Structure 1
Amino acid sequence: MGPVIEARQEIRQLIENWALWRDSGDWERFATVWHDDGRMEATWFQGTATEFIAANRRGWERGVTILHLLGGSSIDVVGTRAIGQTKMQIHQRAAVHDVSCDVVCTGRFYDFFEHRDGRWGLVWRQPIYEKDRIDPVDPAAVLSLDEDLLGRFPEGYRHLAYLQTLLGYEVVAGMPGLRGPEVADLYARGREWLAGSTGHPAGVHAGSPA
């Protein structure tokens, strides 16, 4: 087995561990997926991996329900660096205007990995949000959405953002989608990362806040 195949297998394991350990609240093992300068970007959070873990702990303790399902991965490895793209779904359940609802958002995890100190680790995760939907848990329930609030967010995650805004999160409106300048910029950063660019791929100093 060649080194690239071994690297892809190790990285795929990290991707799977991220979802399983985060969704089950296994925070100590979840922390091992990241490098020390790891960062996470999401609709509701932008910051360091350490801050992300703490925010997830707080949500977990409040009963916030966010789950992740993974699909296939494409992993490009160049030396000690890699870019992984993994099909995924985000599932979140919460009350929307007193109606219990499920939001399903389909997209990709776009991940920047590096091999340091004998192991692969995650340096930056930026999801790509492609499309989403919202459904009442009870199919007989009637749900009416605020069109003005819904229209504040991109098509790829507007229902997820709607629910998260009602929960009190400050949701970013400029996340990458299936097309557009945001995702084009992300792809460019991925190419630069594999080509050996210096500095953090998220464009921040290691450990700095969002």
Structure 2
Amino acid sequence: MNGATDAELHDRLAIRALVENWAVSRDAGDWDRFATCWHEDGYMCATWCQAPWRDFIAASVAGWEKGVSILHFLGGHSAELAGRRAIAQTKMTISQRAAVHGVMVDVVCTGRFYDFLEKRDGDDGAAGPRSGPAAPHGRARWGVVLRQPIYEKDRMDPVDPAARLALDPALLARFPEGYRHLAYLQTQIGYAVKTDMPGLKGPEVEALYARGARWLAGGAPG
């Protein structure tokens, strides 16, 4: 990377590792390691859950125990750094399997993780989902302050290609184009899905980009 200092390269590697640890730990149900991805005030905003990180873990554990199947796959990555703050964008797919109207289906949603990150000194407390993450004594670490996915497009397919599936068009139309099939599935298994999440285009994603710019300039993530 032209002109990058050793410190910047280290920060970029640490941010990419953080993003990858988030996906691997969550999908594996390794909740203690997953907790180390967050700062104490970290917040997750997903279609099915908008909550502080501890509550998001609790909801994920509850879903895990009920058989909810959500997996993530990561692709290209870009990070914009401003001192000890960063905005990271990582291409991803969310894959969820469940029964919809009696038919087992897979939904695959493509988008980006849009992460508000900060490098802080290790004073957050003991690591773990019950007591908060921390860096080793005397070391600063990057952590998630806010994760807001961007949902770009999705599709739903029966696991059995011979199965017949008919969706309710009125329910499907309630949700934005970028995640309407994912939202349809999540509604069917009992979740209240947020209906104004950012997509590839539109005022929601433009507002998110503006929040990201404010974050890099020293403002709050909200």
TM-score range, shorter chain: over 0.9
How far apart, CA to CA, are the structure 2 residues paired with 1:188 and 1:3? Answer: 27
What's the RMSD between the two structures over aligned residues?
Answer: 0.6
When normalised by structure 2's length, the TM-score is 0.89
1:90 is displaced (CA, Å) by 0.1
Q: Quick one: which amino acid aligns to residue 122 of structure 1? A: V
Q: Which residue of 1 aligns with 2:90?
A: 86
Distance in 2 (CA, whole Å) between partners of 1:43 and 1:194 is 25
Shift of 1:66: 0.2
Cα distance in 1 for partners of 2:148, 2:70 equals 17
Structure 1 segments, 4+ long, off by >4 Å, are: none
Unpaired segments ≥5 residues, structure 2:
122-139
- Between the aligned partners of 1:2 and 1:176, the Cα distance in structure 2 is 35
Which of 116, 120, 129 is the aligned partner of 2:120? 116
Establish whether residue 171 from structure 1 lines up as the match of residue 193 from structure 2. Answer: yes
- SS where residue 195 of structure 2 aligns? coil
Alpha-carbon deviation of 1:3? 1.3
TM superposition score normalised by structure 1:
0.94
**3-state SS of 1:43 partner:** coil
SS in structure 1 opposite 2:145? strand
What secondary structure does 1:175 align onto? coil
Equivalent of 2:12, from 8, 11, 17?
8
Structure 1: which 5+ runs fail to align?
204-210
Instruction: Give identity over the alignment, percent.
Output: 67
Q: Give the paired residue count.
A: 200
1:117-175 deviation per Cα after TM superposition (whole angstroms, max 9, x unaligned)? 11111100000000000000000000000000000000000000000000000001000
Residue 106 of structure 1 and its aligned partner are, at CA, apart by 0.2
The amino acid that maps onto 2:166 is S
**Displacement, 1:33?**
0.3
Please say if 1:127 is aligned against 2:149.
Answer: yes
Opposite residue 110 of structure 2, the aligned amino acid is T
SS state at 2:10 partner:
helix
